[in-house]
């Protein structure tokens, strides 16, 4: 079996709407390495889009999955409950930011978590409207697309979208949007488009993922909290990509002095198994009536077992601290070549959530240079992902378990790709 053969079969059997970045097909993977069906090895700095903070096939996670497979794989928690779901909910309640009583509901995907967070917010407040931000990404479901602040490729041809969803600019100093301008735009929205007393929630990413790893300034998050408190609006932190150690804390909101009312999470929660969650203030989470939340596969027992193991691994192997060290090393290496790579407009990141943005000599976003760096790195065996509103950002999502030797090899490839 070759990559070319599989490519032909893929084109004949699957729709073009499922866009595929790589032209090779995975055969096996371990930790931060992946091999294709022809035996070529890649260093994986994509990690299934931030899913594998504990790496491919971590032994502890695999053992937990195998043990659960020997017991049962599915009952539907709403029909026959099981202890793992309760244990994971208790753990998440204890570990999310906020010194208040919390409850957690489990789901399957990040988009599903976002959808349910909106449902919960509407049920609690009795209000319909939701505010999100330009550049944000919240999923590919209808509500997820409505909340997402990027048209191409996510919204093209799929409208109309759910009503009562509004967007304001997200602060980004490099692109000329200050915290004051963003918060002023929110106040202007209240004057021109929606009464704040009709707004159920404001949803934001503490660090935008698809938007380019743009970090929310402290003053911005504090400003959102103050506006929400003033108008009785709930604050939802979308931690689907930032959660579980990526930012040098278990959750990105731990970097701030204020807390969200609801937190969505998924991706690295379960080490590659499909699982998501919504955690929030207990009284808010209890707003939906019995039966209003759930799903046939929500909180699957195998995925739950994996998640419990992931949290143990993060703690016992000190991967959150490890990730912060690796992120600092990556940023230092990028800074060292910055004088030679004039396209580097900004190197940014918190913990292991690091990105580099490229502009041309005219100061405009340079998506073409970004694609060339990405392609050259892939030729050399390093898998990178792009992101950003203009497609001119490379984000780095290496497993936090990556060895020093492999990290150094990857950084050498990255520097060579930038030089080429």
pLDDT band at residue 383, thresholds of 50, 70 and 90? very high
**Who contacts 274 (Cβ-Cβ below 8 Å, separation ≥6)?**
108, 109, 297, 300, 303
What is the Cα–Cα distance from 222 to 237, expressed in whole angstroms?
13
Count of Cβ atoms closer than 10 Å to residue 326 Cβ: 23
Do 134 and 67 belong together in one domain?
A: yes
Do 296 and 398 belong together in one domain?
A: no
Q: Report, in angstroms and rounded to the nearest whole number, the Rg of the chain calculated over CA atoms.
A: 21
**Who contacts 384 (Cβ-Cβ below 8 Å, separation ≥6)?**
45, 46, 373, 374, 377, 378, 394, 395, 396, 414
Q: List pLDDT tens digits, range 257-287.
A: 999 999 999 999 999 999 999 999 999 999 9
CATH of the domain at 212: 3.40.640.10
Do 312 and 322 belong together in one domain?
A: no
Strand order in the sheet with 344-350: 344-350, 353-358, 393-396, 385-387
Token pair, residue 224, equals: 């959102």
**Who contacts 269 (Cβ-Cβ below 8 Å, separation ≥6)?**
243, 244, 275, 276, 277, 307, 310
Q: List pLDDT tens digits, range 198-225.
A: 999 999 999 999 999 999 999 999 999 9
Count of Cβ atoms closer than 10 Å to residue 294 Cβ: 18
> What is the predicted pLDDT for the residue at 97?
97
Q: Which of 316, 336, 365 is the last residue of a domain?
A: 316
pLDDT band at residue 133, thresholds of 50, 70 and 90? very high
Do 37 and 127 belong together in one domain?
A: no
> What is the predicted pLDDT for the residue at 349?
96
Q: List pLDDT tens digits, range 155-193.
A: 999 999 999 999 999 999 999 999 999 999 999 999 999
Do 409 and 337 belong together in one domain?
A: yes
Q: Are 216 and 204 in contact (CB under 8 A)?
A: yes
Q: List pLDDT tens digits, range 75-117.
A: 999 999 999 999 999 999 999 999 999 999 999 999 999 999 9
Q: Which of 282, 316, 350 is the last residue of a domain?
A: 316
Q: Helical H runs in 14-157? A: 47-50, 59-69, 83-95, 110-125, 142-147
What's the domain count of the chain?
A: 2
Cα angle, residue 396 at apex, residues 393 and 400 outer, rounded to 5°: 165
Do 347 and 391 belong together in one domain?
A: yes
> What is the predicted pLDDT for the residue at 281?
98
> What is the predicted pLDDT for the residue at 420?
84
Token pair, residue 394, equals: 């490379």
CATH of the domain at 392: 3.90.1150.10
Over residues 388-407, the mean pLDDT reads: 97
Do 157 and 243 belong together in one domain?
A: yes
- Percent of the chain with pLDDT strictly greater than 90: 99
For 148, the domain range is 63-316
Q: List pLDDT tens digits, range 316-349.
A: 999 999 999 999 999 999 999 999 999 999 999 9
**Who contacts 238 (Cβ-Cβ below 8 Å, separation ≥6)?**
114, 136, 138, 203, 204, 205, 264
Q: Which of 259, 294, 316 is the last residue of a domain?
A: 316
Whether pLDDT at 406 is above 90: yes
Q: H-helix or E-strand containing 13?
A: helix 3-13
pLDDT band at residue 401, thresholds of 50, 70 and 90? very high
Output the pTM of the full model. Answer: 0.97
Q: Are 23 and 3 in contact (CB under 8 A)?
A: yes
């Amino acid at each position: 079996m070759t990559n070319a053969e599989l490519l032909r079969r893929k084109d004949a059997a699957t729709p073009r709407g499922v866009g595929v970045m790589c032209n090779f097909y995975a055969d096996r993977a371990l930790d931060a390495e992946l091999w294709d069906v022809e035996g070529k090895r890649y260093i994986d700095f994509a990690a299934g889009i931030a899913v594998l903070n504990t790496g491919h096939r971590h032994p502890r996670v695999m053992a937990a999955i195998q043990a659960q497979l020997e017991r049962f794989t599915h009952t539907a928690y709403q029909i026959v409950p099981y202890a793992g779901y309760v244990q994971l909910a208790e753990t998440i309640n204890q570990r999310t930011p906020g010194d208040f009583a919390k409850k957690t509901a489990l789901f399957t995907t990040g988009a599903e978590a976002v959808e349910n967070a909106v449902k919960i917010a509407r049920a609690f407040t009795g209000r319909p409207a939701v505010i999100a931000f330009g550049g944000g990404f919240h999923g590919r479901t209808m509500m997820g697309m409505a909340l997402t602040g990027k048209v191409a490729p996510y919204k093209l041809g799929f409208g109309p979208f759910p009503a009562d969803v509004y967007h304001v600019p997200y602060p980004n100093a490099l692109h000329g949007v200050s915290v004051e301008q963003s918060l002023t735009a929110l106040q202007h929205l209240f004057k021109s488009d929606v009464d704040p007393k009709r707004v159920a929630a404001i949803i934001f990413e503490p660090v935008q993922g698809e938007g380019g790893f743009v970090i929310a300034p402290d003053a911005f998050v504090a400003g959102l909290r103050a506006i929400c408190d003033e108008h009785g609006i709930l604050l939802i932190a979308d931690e689907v990509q930032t959660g579980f150690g990526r930012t040098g804390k278990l959750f990105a909101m731990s970097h701030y002095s204020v807390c969200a009312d609801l937190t969505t999470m998924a991706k690295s929660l379960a080490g590659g198994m499909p699982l998501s969650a919504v955690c929030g203030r207990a009284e808010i989470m209890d707003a939906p009536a019995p039966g209003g939340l759930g799903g046939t596969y929500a909180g699957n027992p195998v995925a739950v077992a994996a998640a419990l193991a992931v949290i143990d691994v993060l703690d016992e192997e000190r991967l959150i601290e490890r990730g912060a060290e690796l992120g600092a090393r990556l940023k230092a290496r990028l800074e060292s070549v910055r004088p030679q790579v004039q396209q580097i407009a900004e190197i940014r990141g918190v913990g292991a959530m690091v990105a580099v943005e490229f502009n041309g000599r005219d100061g405009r976003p340079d998506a073409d240079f970004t694609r060339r760096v990405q392609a050259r790195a892939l030729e050399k065996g390093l898998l990178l992902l792009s992101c950003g509103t203009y497609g001119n950002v490379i984000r780095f999502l290496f497993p936090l378990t990556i060895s020093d030797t492999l990290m150094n090899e990857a950084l050498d490839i990255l520097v060579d790709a930038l030089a080429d």
